[in-house]
Amino acid sequence: MKRQGVVLFTVVRVLADIGMLSLAFFLAYILRLSTTYPPLLNPPLFRQYQGMLWIHVLTLLAAFWLSRLYHYKAGTSRFDKFYSIFVAVSIGTVMAMAFTSFVYKNELDYPRLMVVYAWLLSVILVTVGRYIIDALAAMRRARLPQNLLIVGAGDVGRMILQNAQQSPHLGYHVVGFVDDTPGRKESGGLPVLGPTQQLRAIIQEQGVEHVIIALPDASHDQLLEIISQCESAKVTIKVYPDLFQIMASEVSIDDLNGLPLLTIRDVALRGWRLTLKRAMDLVGSALTLVFASPIMMLIALLIKLDSPGPVFYAQERMGLDAKPFMIIKFRSMRVDAEERSGPVWTTQNDPRRTRLGAFLRRLNLDELPQFINVLIGDMSLVGPRPERPFFVEQFKQVIPRYMERHKEKAGLTGWAQVNGLRGDTSIVDRTKYDLWYIENWSLLLDIKIIFLTIFRWPTDKNAY
């Protein structure tokens, strides 16, 4: 977004926030008058609250600014936006109460219930206002898309292309790839426009405004050369992080008698954080098993009618601290699926699936029994997806820090999965996302991943 557009966007947001915050305060006053308990004796007229209204609005605007809610940032999810607004309004409301008490002292009563109403309505109305503005901005970006060029046509480049195509509200039009692989003419249905040596000319020829560098294994010299060409063409540049950058978030500097050392901190969950996560797993898995039991009974009956063999399928997977456990699933393949092939990845249109199994895997219904694994403590609702020991032995030989995925319990869903990395996708990229999740765990992040899993469940193209 150009500078003039950013300024206009910020002004519109500020004006909308002022309107929504004022409306929230007024509605809080009306609701307090209509609330019979506790009774409000001799309620003042609204004009007597106008000073408090301005304190409420201006303080919350300041909280929004300090929380960087007026800094343009493309690609932020709605869940993250709501959380940022919730936190900023909560902090701003406490600050407004403090300022109001200082200014008015005992001159005017500010009912506590009205404060609660103002806080709750401010969260709701500001969020609605922001969503409306973002929707209008997305419509404008859709009409006037900005050209995006991806440097690197490999797995990472195709993943970025897929994410850009699945997020039309961001307003990106991917013109193609730049790649040095000999003979590569297209990737993901888009053309490879040339090698990186021609990057500057390609940017000018295609009218590119944004460049994403998707070369996680590129050398520093190669990255500097690519960035130099982009900077001379005056485009915005984003770089997909390499493995060292993924590690950087958990590296701290220590010393040994003055000798500087890098310390890799322990990121395993402990104490109250572990208890909190386990409590959410118990409640979530128990409720799901209760409400999903009729569906599970129906699926079990259909499996018996569809093909010979057991209803459930138990398979050894690697869990917390690299200890094996038996994962439980509804059987979706023939009983003799691996007699000839041995352990192999499931692929799209896998001929080993049963007729019902293809449907179950497409909707992830074969994984419903894994809530039992969560309930008994073998798995968590959210975490790195567990792999079979056969594959773990292979991956740990070639992927740095792969075994650190097992510092947390395996999960039904995870950060890699909601970012499109499931099925027959890059295990290297999946490991990076899993490590980022472990290093940045929070209860809010788990809730966000669960919601993203639910929303993306019907349209997951890698569910097979």
Say if residue 460's pLDDT is above 50. yes
The listed range with the strongest mean pLDDT (1-10, 76-85, 239-248, 324-333) is 324-333
C-alpha dihedral sign at 193, 194, 199, 200 = negative
pLDDT of res. 95? 93
Query: What is d(CA 67, CA 90) in angstroms, rounded to the nearest whole number?
Result: 12
Say if residue 380's pLDDT is above 90. yes
pLDDT of res. 227? 86
User: For residues 145 and 375, which has the higher predicted lDDT (pLDDT)?
Assistant: 375
- pLDDT confidence bin for 435, thresholds 50/70/90: confident
DSSP letter at 175 equals: E
pLDDT of res. 248? 44
Structure token pair of residue 401: 């820090």
Cα angle value 210/216/221 (rounded, 5°): 85
pLDDT of res. 126? 96
Tell me what the mean pLDDT of segment 166-188 comes to.
85
446: left (phi over 0), alpha (psi -120 to 50) or beta: alpha
Tell me the CATH class for 145-240.
Answer: alpha beta
Domain ranges of the chain: 3-142, 145-240, 271-459
Q: Which residues make Cβ contacts (< 8 Å) with residue 305, sequence separation at least 6? A: none
pLDDT of res. 244? 47
User: Which of 17-21, 89-93, 398-402, 438-442 has the weakest average pLDDT?
Assistant: 398-402
Say if residue 461's pLDDT is above 60. yes
Give, for 273, the enclosing helix (H) or strand (E).
helix 271-306
pLDDT of res. 38? 75
Tens digit of each residue's pLDDT (9 = 90 or more) over 382-421: 999 999 888 888 888 888 778 888 888 999 999 988 888 8
Tens digit of each residue's pLDDT (9 = 90 or more) over 279-320: 999 999 999 999 999 999 999 999 999 888 899 999 999 999
Query: What is d(CA 50, CA 56) in angstroms, rounded to the nearest whole number?
Result: 10
- pLDDT confidence bin for 235, thresholds 50/70/90: confident
pLDDT of res. 2? 55
Distance of CA 76 to the CA centre of its chain: 9
Say if residue 354's pLDDT is above 70. yes
Percent residues over pLDDT 70 in the chain: 86
Q: Which residues make Cβ contacts (< 8 Å) with residue 150, sequence separation at least 6? A: 157, 160, 161, 174, 176, 177, 178, 211, 212, 214
Say if residue 263's pLDDT is above 60. no
Say if residue 464's pLDDT is above 70. no
pLDDT of res. 250? 53
pLDDT of res. 316? 92
pLDDT of res. 166? 76
User: For residues 121 and 463, which has the higher predicted lDDT (pLDDT)?
Assistant: 121
Q: Let me know: does 78 contact 98? Beta carbons within 8 Å.
A: no
pLDDT of res. 156? 83
Tens digit of each residue's pLDDT (9 = 90 or more) over 29-70: 999 888 877 776 777 888 888 899 999 999 999 999 998 898
pLDDT of res. 383? 93
pLDDT of res. 251? 56
Say if residue 258's pLDDT is above 80. no
pLDDT of res. 255? 55
Tens digit of each residue's pLDDT (9 = 90 or more) over 74-96: 666 777 888 889 999 999 999 99
Tens digit of each residue's pLDDT (9 = 90 or more) over 199-225: 888 998 888 888 998 887 788 888 888
Say if residue 264's pLDDT is above 60. no
